[in-house]
Structure 1
């Protein structure tokens, strides 16, 4: 009986995967930090100015921390990055349209970073969708 082995991955592919994981860990660290800050008093005034109430601050902090943790789970990393794209899209919109002196630079950078990760991890998103709805997304 012959033993089958997985095809060897190129060094470039392995380096790319390592670089992507480093980026995911760095982005996760930032979102844990950012989400943690949202539970403190530093952002109370900013969310008062937004006008939707403090529940949005807690929801945003929870979503950022959940997304950060998801970035660290191989099976969930693409979907977590996609979720963070949504959170950051909301942050960009808020900075541009709801805050008088809003600066959307940081949310745009974070949105772009999460979008790149979501794109590069699209295979994990497809795999999750295929598992959830095989008749619709299966191969």
Structure 2
């Protein structure tokens, strides 16, 4: 793995704030899905792919949320969660006909986090 330039102190603080906030958000969302909260069961029932999809989504959120807190793989967790968020956007916009603003805001925060860790992402790419 290539040597990475150390980010500035301010950048490091911003990265950690984003990591913690987004990890808390996605870990809570994972808990809601994996614990079978009625609202989640009903929402995934409306999506029509079966409850296995709720478990898969919750597992991806759990993995991504934990990964955000591990500096070596944080950027990969953010990319994974961006994919999950894109799926949530599509489900909200075209199936559930719900509010998509929150998915856009979360995507923007994930993109900022990915951008701030772009050197680490480049190190993962061939």
TM-score over 0.5 (shorter chain):
yes
2:25 corresponds to which of 30, 50, 57: 30
1:103 corresponds to which of 96, 99, 103: 99
State the TM-score, normalized to the length of structure 1: 0.80
- The runs of 5 or more residues in structure 1 that have no matched partner are 1-8, 130-136
Work out the number of aligned pairs and report it.
119
Give yes or no for contact 1:35–1:61 (8 Å, CA) kept in 2: yes
Larger relative CO (CA 8 A, sep 6+): 1 or 2? 2
Deviating 4+ runs (over 6 angstroms): none
State the TM-score, normalized to the length of structure 2: 0.88
Give, in whole Å, the separation in 1 of the partners of 2:52 and 2:99: 22
Give, in whole Å, the separation in 1 of the partners of 2:48 and 2:79: 26
- The runs of 5 or more residues in structure 2 that have no matched partner are 1-5
| 2:3 corresponds to | none
1:86 corresponds to which of 72, 83, 104: 83
Please report the RMSD computed on the Cα atoms of aligned residues, expressed in angstroms. Answer: 1.5
1:47 Cα deviation after fit: 0.6
Give, in whole Å, the separation in 2 of the partners of 1:80 and 1:73: 9
Give yes or no for contact 2:44–2:50 (8 Å, CA) kept in 1: yes
